[in-house]
Structures are given as C-alpha cells and as structure tokens.
Chains A and B, each alone.
Chain A
Amino acid sequence: MATLNSNIPSGPLAEKWEHHKFYTKLINPANKRKYKIIVVGAGLAGASASATLAELGYEVHNFVFHDSPRRAHSVAAQGGINAAKNYQNDGDSVHRLFYDTIKGGDFRAREANVHRLAEVSVNIIDQCAAQGVPFAREYGGVLDNLSFGGAQVSRTFYARGQTGQQLLLGAYSALNRNIANGGVKSYTHAEMLDLVVVDGHAKGIIVRNLQTGEITRHNGDAVVLATGGYGNVYNLSTYARGANVTAGWRAYKRGACFGNPCYTQIHPTCIPVSGDYQSKLTLMSESLRNDGRVWVPKRKEDCGKKPADIAEGDRDYYLERMYSAFGNLAPRDIASRAAKTVCDEGRGVGETGLGVYLDFSAAIQRLGESKVRERYGNLFAMYQEITNENAYQTPMRIYPAVHYTMGGLWVDYNLMSNVPGLFVLGEANFSDHGANRLGASALMQGLSDGYFVLPATISGYLAGQNPGKRPTTDTGSFKEAEENVQTLTKRMLGNKGKRTPNSFHKELGKLMWEHCGMARNEASLQKGIKAIGALREEYWNNVSVLGESNDWNQSLERAGRIADFIELGELMCRDALMREESCGGHFREEYQYTPDDPETKQGLVNPGDVKRRDDQFAFVAGWEYAGAADKAPILNKEPLVYEEVKMSTRSYK
C-alpha cells in the first residue's frame, strides 16, 4: 500500500503557502547547477517549469514528443485565464477566486492547493504581461477582462480567442531564452516511454527518438511530468490527436498512484460527430447558449425531417422545459446530460442521431441577423466550415464532447507524487480542480504549477539528495527499464495480428463513452470493465503494427499509446464504480436529487442534479498498480479535510 500524505502545511489557510516557502529547504546557488532535473512536456506547465528551474540554476533537460515545444495542446485553449487581480473593482479577491474554484470543483479539491492557486494567479498575469503576451487591452492601455462561467466577477484575462496560444508562446519564449543560454537542453521528437526508479526514487526516464527510433536513457535528480490530460481515452474528444497518457501511465506502472481517474469534464457545445471516420471534435464557445435555444423533435419520427418542417408545437425545448429557471443557460454538466438523455430516447438529430439543435431563429427575429452576426460571426463561420451548414438559416447541431480530465497522477502539496523525486504538473496531476473545472482555470493552474509552485517546492526534495550523486545510466534500474521498452516495442511490431491500432482506439472510445461517459451506473460500469478487459486481451493477440522500430513510425507510436489508454480506461471505470456518489463531472445515475429530497424542496437544486455523499466519499482516490494489467489495482485514500470552507450543496440557483 502506498502512503498518500498530502503534506499540507499547518497554519491558517491564507498563510500556508508563505510559511511553507519559508520553511522549505533551499539550495545554495553553487550547488544548484549540480542538480539535473528532467522535465517531460512543454505545455504551459512544462515550459514554464523548465524555464524557471533553469533560471534558478538547475541543469534542466526538457523532452517533448512534438517537433517543437510550441505545439503542446495548451496552444488550443481559447477562452482565457483567471486571476484575482480585481482590476474591475467588482469585489474580486484571492479568497473569492479560491472559493469559486473549490465550489466549482464540487468540494473535491484540496483547500490548501486551491488557495495557493488563487494567490499566485495574480503573479501569473504580471509574468505573462512582462513576457510580451498581447493580452486584450482597453483604450487606456490597461488590461481588459471578461466574465466566465461559475463566477460573478470579471476576472478572466484573454488574448482574442487564442489565450492558450499566447500564454504558451510566452512560456515557450522563456524556454527558448534558457535553451539559448544553455540552462535547458531541449529534446524534441523525444517520447518518454518509461520512468526509472532507483531505490524507490524517480531518477530517470527512457526515451524514444521518434525520428530515428533510438532508445536512450536519461538520468536526473528529479523527474517532472507535465504531460497533459488523458481525454483521448474516449478517442473522440476536443484534445489534440497526439495527446496521450503514456508518460503518466508508465509512471503509474512504476508505483505512482493515479488520482481520481474518473473525473472527466464534458463540454456541452461541440460540433457533433458526423461519421465513423471522425478523428476530432471541435468546441463551439459556450457563449452561443446566451441567444440560442436548444431543442429536439418531440417525436422520434420527426428526427429525419428538415428542422424547418417541424412545427413549433412538435419541438421539445427540453432545457427550458426541464430547468425553467436557467433554461438554455443551465450549467455545463446538466446541459450535457440532458442532451444525452434526449438522444438516448431516440430523439437526437443529424445523421448519427447524436445531436441536438441550437436554434438562433428566435434571436435573429428579435435582434436581426446583423446583430447575431456581430456577436457570433466567427463561430458561425467556423461552424459552416466544418459542417457546410449556414446556421443563420438552419439551426446548429451540437453535442457534448470530452475536453478536460480533472484526474491525473496523485501529488502532494509540493506537487510530488508518492514516488519521491517524481513531480507532476498541470493537467497531468489530479490536484486543483476537484470533480469539475471552471472555465479559464486550466491555464491558470498550468502556469501556477510551472512558474511558481514547483520551483519553490522542488528544493525541499533536492536538499535531501546529495548534489552530483545521481545514479548513472548504467545501473540496473536503467537497464531494466530500457529492456522493458525494447520488449514492448518488439512485442508490438512482432505481433502478427489483423487489426490496426486505430480500430482498437475507436472501439475503446465507444466503450468508454457508453459505460463511463456523461452518466454512469453500476451495471454499465461493470459491463465496461469486462468489455475493456476483453479488448485489452484482444489487443495483444490481434493488433498489427507495421513498419520498423528504427525509423519514423507513427503506427508504432500510436500502438503504444493506445495500449496504455485501454488499461487506463479500465481503471477509470473501476474508479467510477467505486465512487458511489455523484460529484461535478462524475454523475452516477443512482445518486441524484429527486423531487422529494429536502434540498430540492428548498429550491437549492433541481431534480436530477448531482448528489454528493460527503460522509463516505470526501476523499481522493489514489489507485496503485498491482503489478499486472489484469490484477485489480489497489485503492488508497487521501481524506479531504476542509478547515476553512464548509462542504455544502453546490447550487447555482
């Protein structure tokens, strides 16, 4: 059994971080350069951490599987980044951002982590502005703000619809500066395939050069994973195609616990799947629901008809019907689940039957087309590009899609996993968003971890390691890890199967969506675990991977990643099955508010809202690998102790 000690510092919540920084051991400048830190990933968290650690004087080696660190999927974040600057004078504060985030996460995140996140949020904006990030400005030259979901203040900073891109380019520029001055050695097209653990400490990684296929060993005094989320386990998601769980999963297999894997966020307004060939789902801004009305036909028989041919009386504006107070602006999780419900009833629209209408005709009548164009023109254009439909004339079709995973490798307050020396940042860790993430918080967390948290906490670990005494790469653990990778590669290439890796990924995605998607229940999850287990068996018997190991081989890359996704999928189902409550993005059909519950009667919640069970499930699940993929993983629990906030019913009414 692993020990999950959160290492939350004592003292009042608002002072924990300052105190902790003071009491964390430091390393003198002359010794810092004797420590080598391996950072995997160069998204917001990885690039910012690499740059900052190098500035401090550590020897940093950064690895990315992309051709350039600038391509990490942080680049795709659109909306913005939260910070408790209170530039709008609308009553924002660190405490308010902290509270909004804790509540948004449905009281399943650590108080101390979230408070720290809110504290450093203000420094992030300063840092990024100094790097030349072209944030949106007001005419006076000061920063502009937007308001975002789950908050009553305007605290979101943005750079057109490309905030993630601009922040990433800022972090990338900091990384570049340190590559240029020798502080960081950058490895691109370099995929981490195993973690090397020496005497219980993470001391290195095994890397495959994607261009040449060469497998190399890299040692370090600490290993930092900033490798992003795992939403591609669903195959179809808003993630980049290359996004994968492999680095994290291989670390899991080396003993790092996986925290809350079942917490997945599903975004309600995406362009629906158009066919089996589809590789990617595209997010449409949630702001569309301000003026669009969501509906499906009342009768199944009408689903094939053109929307214009369906009479007003035959339409079911189900969000307005079911949630009269919020109507089309019902929260994300509720809107997503409602869409699924009506489609499951066979009333979905579009070729696949998995879609609902988002209709602007009322808005166009009320405001005129030019006003609608002014507000949403770019989104309508994007929609037309993808679907070839003119949303001014016919309603948009939308459907929910996976777009973030709150779960990830378990870390303590120092962002160190239960394997000493292994640190995990950004979306790759489980930490700050609880069971649901608020909009514009992902960018904040990635940069907070990389610029400010890790650089302050890592010295606490390194101070206990003798400078310049890291194990060399010819030790047994490195050899064993490299052999492990070689064996896996040989096994995949040598398999004389009949099915392509992609076909397994598609099948896995469908299983995950069906059994561990927007709504989960015990029977279905159990079915899912069985089916995914069987898929794993079949994978190793029937997968066919073409090409060679010593060459650029995208089939091989994908095959390894998909094998890990299959195993992760099983774990997600197990976690979802274990968590017999509903919270945030995790909705167990057995645990929802009914019209008879007192909270419903008091008007705090709607029937069908998620129902937490704090008495039994106020903990972080840290799953531990049991040594083989077919052995049931071990559940470790880290209790969530709330000192400041009272866990209450999450109500947005």
Chain B
Amino acid sequence: MKVTLKVWRQKNRNSSGSFKTYESPELNGNMSFLEMLDVVNEQLATRGEEPIAFDHDCREGICGTCSLVIDGKPHGPHKGIATCQTYMRSFKDGDEIVVEPFRAKAFPLIKDLVCDRKSFDRIQHAGGFITVRTGAAPDANSIPVPKPDADLAMDAAQCIGCGACVAACKNASAMLFVAAKISHLGLMPQGQPERYKRAKAMVDQMDEEGFGACTVTGSCEAVCPKEISLDFIARMNRDYGVALLRGDPKTIKGGGAG
C-alpha cells in the first residue's frame, strides 16, 4: 500500500509553518504509524531533505511521548490506544492522511509535529504529590485501602500524560489530565491531608498555563489512550468547590522550637 501524507512542517517555534505533501514509499499494513513515518523520513534523509520531526519513545503506549493529530483525531482512528499503537492497516491504499501537531497555547510548538508539554509538569509541581519524606513511611499495610478505592485510583492514575485530551478539546482544556491526577491522589487515604489544597493549587496552575475551560464535550475521554472517564472531572470539581468555599488556611504567626 501507499499513502499520501499532508504533514505540518515548521522549522521552529518562531517561524510560521505550512502543510507539505509527501508520497510514501510502498508500505506494509503491519507497520505502525510511527514506523511509516520512520520509513518516510529515511527516504527524505536519503534525498537530503530534513526528516519530519515527531515525538516518540517507548512505542508501546505507556510513556505518553507520542502525539500527532491524525485526520482530526489525536492518536489516530482507534479508541483507547496511542499513536504508536496505530497500525497502517487502519488506512487504505491511496489514502490522504493529514498529520498535525497537538495545538494549544499551553503546548507551544517546537518543530514540525513536536510540541512542548512542560505545562503539564508545572501543574504537577503545583501539587501533584503526597508530602512524605523518604524513610518516613509507615508499614505499607498499616493503612488499609478499600479495594474499590484503589481500583478507581488506578483508573485515574494510569494517565500517561500525553496531552491528547488537550489536543482534542475544542477549548484546549486540560481538565481531564488535571482531574486524573487530583483524583488518583485524592482517592487514596494517604492523599487526604492535602486533598483540597492540592485540587486548588493544581487547578489554579492549570488556569495560569493558559488552558481553556471545560464545556463537557467529552472529546477528551473519547481520544484518551487510557479511556479515562469524565467522572474524574466531576470529582475534581467537587474537591475544588470545597477548596473555594473553605478559602486559604489560617496562617500561623511566630513559632519555632525553643
């Protein structure tokens, strides 16, 4: 099979980009989408043209590095998988495939199909953790975690941080990502002491980064490679609401050990 690729090419974040069309060499349906790009890139490089830059790493759907909006859908045509798990047999001989980068103000473009998702890290810095020093932990079985809670937390925790939710959302909202993080920690008993503070801090940082707001369209859930549920957004909304009503904690004056 052969396909025609319409790919976004952009030299760097300061220059403007445009679509370029490439004819693929003969392909095999068992190639992954990224392997197809490898093959096209080898062809470009042999011709002396700079290869198409795209992000990828583990190529087994867990690291969250690969991105790409393929024919309008982040991570390609199938549900519940990442671009790296998309295979060429999902396309037909002669198809024209439009490949775009993830687009959002908070994901500035670096080059071609590569964007910078550090805003996700900064949201995590704001509160995506449980404060516990190494060595300060009690025995792991001293705090029982109800199985349904652990399972639900795991549903949220499996987020791979790829940013497809943002890419798919018509508002470029990061609510699903942030909700997954807040819900994971907020569901665990160990996460209770910082539950509301965490929700407040992470949502505020999300706003700070310039993501849009949620209009509950469900695109995020529909493209999420881990099929993370919108239920978690509701959970986050509850926690954030409590934090809003409570306001800032009382500040302690003075103190210190004698």
A and B touch in the complex (CB under 8 A): yes
With a 10 A CB-CB cut-off, give which of B42, B55, B62, B127 has the most chain A CB atoms. B62
Check A277/B140 contact, CB under 8 A, given A75-B58, A138-B147, A211-B116.
no
Q: Tell me which residues across on chain B come within 8 A of A552, comparing CB atoms.
A: 12, 53, 110-111, 114
Inter-chain contact B132/A388, CB cutoff 8 Å: no
Check A76/B134 contact, CB under 8 A, given A71-B65, A132-B184, A176-B128.
no
Q: Indicate whether B59 reaches chain A with its CB closer than 8 angstroms.
A: yes
In the complex, chain A residues 414-460 whose Cβ is within 8 Å of any chain B Cβ: 451-452, 455
B-side binding surface: helix, strand, loop or mixed?
A: loop
Inter-chain contact A69/B121, CB cutoff 8 Å: yes
Q: Indicate whether B28 reaches chain A with its CB closer than 8 angstroms.
A: yes
Q: Indicate whether B51 reaches chain A with its CB closer than 8 angstroms.
A: yes
Q: Indicate whether B97 reaches chain A with its CB closer than 8 angstroms.
A: no
Interface mask (B149-171 → A, CB under 8 Å = 1, otherwise 0): 01101100110110000000000
Q: Indicate whether B96 reaches chain A with its CB closer than 8 angstroms.
A: no
Inter-chain contact B158/A165, CB cutoff 8 Å: yes
Q: Tell me which residues across on chain A come within 8 A of B144, comparing CB atoms.
A: 137, 140-142
Alpha-carbon distance A13/B190, docked complex (angstroms) = 35
Of the candidate stretches A121-129, A476-484, A601-609, the one touching chain B is A121-129
Inter-chain contact B184/A137, CB cutoff 8 Å: no
Q: Tell me which residues across on chain B come within 8 A of A137, comparing CB atoms.
A: 144-147, 150-151
Contact of A131 among B114, B116, B190 (CB under 8 A): B190
In the complex, chain B residues 35-76 whose Cβ is within 8 Å of any chain A Cβ: 35-36, 38-39, 42, 45-46, 48-51, 53, 55-60, 62-65
Inter-chain contact B63/A123, CB cutoff 8 Å: no
Inter-chain contact A67/B134, CB cutoff 8 Å: no
Q: Indicate whether B178 reaches chain A with its CB closer than 8 angstroms.
A: no
Q: Indicate whether B206 reaches chain A with its CB closer than 8 angstroms.
A: no
Alpha-carbon distance A66/B64, docked complex (angstroms) = 11
Q: Tell me which residues across on chain B come within 8 A of A38, comparing CB atoms.
A: none
Q: How far is the CB of B51 from chain A (nearest CB, A)?
A: 6
Q: Indicate whether B240 reaches chain A with its CB closer than 8 angstroms.
A: no
Check A132/B190 contact, CB under 8 A, given A165-B158, A554-B53.
yes
In the complex, chain A residues 141-199 whose Cβ is within 8 Å of any chain B Cβ: 141-143, 159-160, 162, 165-166, 169, 172-174, 176-177, 179-180, 186, 188
Q: Indicate whether A485 reaches chain B with its CB closer than 8 angstroms.
A: no
Q: Tell me which residues across on chain A come within 8 A of B129, comparing CB atoms.
A: 131, 173-174, 176-177, 180
Q: How far is the CB of A524 from chain B (nearest CB, A)?
A: 29
Q: Tell me which residues across on chain A come within 8 A of B136, comparing CB atoms.
A: 130
Alpha-carbon distance A386/B28, docked complex (angstroms) = 12
Chain A's closest residue to B31 (CB) is A277
Q: Indicate whether B99 reaches chain A with its CB closer than 8 angstroms.
A: no
Inter-chain contact B134/A176, CB cutoff 8 Å: no
Q: Tell me which residues across on chain A come within 8 A of B118, comparing CB atoms.
A: 67-68, 188
Contact of A275 among B31, B34, B59 (CB under 8 A): B31
Contact of A132 among B55, B84, B89, B188 (CB under 8 A): B188
In the complex, chain A residues 50-72 whose Cβ is within 8 Å of any chain B Cβ: 51-52, 55, 66-71
Q: Indicate whether B143 reaches chain A with its CB closer than 8 angstroms.
A: yes
Inter-chain contact A547/B50, CB cutoff 8 Å: yes
Q: How far is the CB of B14 from chain A (nearest CB, A)?
A: 11
With a 10 A CB-CB cut-off, give which of A48, A142, A186 has the most chain B CB atoms. A142
Chain A's closest residue to B89 (CB) is A388
Alpha-carbon distance A71/B61, docked complex (angstroms) = 11
Q: Tell me which residues across on chain A come within 8 A of B46, comparing CB atoms.
A: 500
Alpha-carbon distance A85/B58, docked complex (angstroms) = 31
Interface mask (A477-510 → B, CB under 8 Å = 1, otherwise 0): 0000000000000000000000010110000000
Q: Indicate whether A472 reaches chain B with its CB closer than 8 angstroms.
A: no
Inter-chain contact A141/B38, CB cutoff 8 Å: no
Q: Indicate whether A287 reaches chain B with its CB closer than 8 angstroms.
A: no
Check A134/B157 contact, CB under 8 A, given A75-B62, A240-B63, A388-B87.
yes
Alpha-carbon distance A52/B144, docked complex (angstroms) = 26
Q: How far is the CB of B227 from chain A (nearest CB, A)?
A: 13
Inter-chain contact B158/A70, CB cutoff 8 Å: no
Q: Tell me which residues across on chain A come within 8 A of B153, comparing CB atoms.
A: 132, 134
Q: How far is the CB of B102 from chain A (nearest CB, A)?
A: 12
Number of interface residues of B (CB under 8 A): 80
Inter-chain contact A544/B134, CB cutoff 8 Å: no
Q: Indicate whether B124 reaches chain A with its CB closer than 8 angstroms.
A: yes
Alpha-carbon distance A602/B248, docked complex (angstroms) = 74
In the complex, chain A residues 554-597 whose Cβ is within 8 Å of any chain B Cβ: 554-555
Contact of B130 among A67, A130, A277, A388 (CB under 8 A): A130
Contact of B137 among A71, A123, A172, A278 (CB under 8 A): A123
Inter-chain contact A134/B65, CB cutoff 8 Å: no
Q: Indicate whether B11 reaches chain A with its CB closer than 8 angstroms.
A: yes
Q: Indicate whether B131 reaches chain A with its CB closer than 8 angstroms.
A: yes
Q: How far is the CB of B66 from chain A (nearest CB, A)?
A: 10
Q: How far is the CB of A404 from chain B (nearest CB, A)?
A: 15
Q: Tell me which residues across on chain A come within 8 A of B89, comparing CB atoms.
A: 388
Interface mask (B83-123 → A, CB under 8 Å = 1, otherwise 0): 01101010000000000000000000011001011101100
Chain A's closest residue to B140 (CB) is A129
Q: Indicate whether A613 reaches chain B with its CB closer than 8 angstroms.
A: no
Q: Tell me which residues across on chain A come within 8 A of B49, comparing CB atoms.
A: 546
Contact of A67 among B116, B133, B137, B158 (CB under 8 A): B116
Q: Tell me which residues across on chain B come within 8 A of A394, comparing CB atoms.
A: none
Inter-chain contact A66/B124, CB cutoff 8 Å: no
Interface mask (A64-89 → B, CB under 8 Å = 1, otherwise 0): 00111111010110000000010100
Contact of B157 among A142, A166, A388, A500 (CB under 8 A): A166
Q: How far is the CB of A548 from chain B (nearest CB, A)?
A: 9
Inter-chain contact B130/A132, CB cutoff 8 Å: yes
With a 10 A CB-CB cut-off, give which of B51, B124, B146, B191 has the most chain A CB atoms. B124
With a 10 A CB-CB cut-off, give which of B110, B129, B140, B153 has the most chain A CB atoms. B140
Q: Tell me which residues across on chain A come within 8 A of B12, comparing CB atoms.
A: 551-552
Q: Indicate whether B141 reaches chain A with its CB closer than 8 angstroms.
A: yes
Q: Indicate whether B126 reaches chain A with its CB closer than 8 angstroms.
A: yes
Interface mask (B25-36 → A, CB under 8 Å = 1, otherwise 0): 000111110111
Inter-chain contact B64/A70, CB cutoff 8 Å: yes
Inter-chain contact A159/B154, CB cutoff 8 Å: yes
Alpha-carbon distance A70/B45, docked complex (angstroms) = 31
Q: Tell me which residues across on chain A come within 8 A of B84, comparing CB atoms.
A: 280
Chain B's closest residue to A180 (CB) is B125
Q: How far is the CB of B133 from chain A (nearest CB, A)?
A: 5
Check A136/B150 contact, CB under 8 A, given A176-B124, A278-B35.
yes
26 A-B pairs whose Cβ atoms sit less than 8 Å apart in the complex: A66-B57, A68-B118, A127-B132, A127-B134, A129-B190, A131-B130, A131-B137, A131-B190, A141-B146, A166-B157, A172-B124, A173-B185, A188-B121, A211-B110, A211-B116, A242-B57, A277-B36, A278-B35, A279-B38, A385-B81, A385-B85, A455-B134, A551-B111, A552-B110, A552-B111, A555-B50
9 smallest beta-carbon distances between A and B, as pairs: A141-B144, A130-B137, A173-B129, A129-B140, A280-B59, A126-B137, A134-B153, A134-B154, A552-B111
Known: A73-B63, A385-B87; 4 extra A-B contacts, CB below 8 A, are A87-B141, A134-B187, A160-B154, A503-B42
**Could you list which residues of chain A lie within 8 angstroms of chain B, going by C-beta atoms?**
48, 51-52, 55, 66-71, 73, 75-76, 85, 87, 123, 125-132, 134-143, 159-160, 162, 165-166, 169, 172-174, 176-177, 179-180, 186, 188, 211, 238, 240-242, 274-275, 277-280, 282, 385-388, 451-452, 455, 500, 502-503, 544, 546-547, 551-552, 554-555
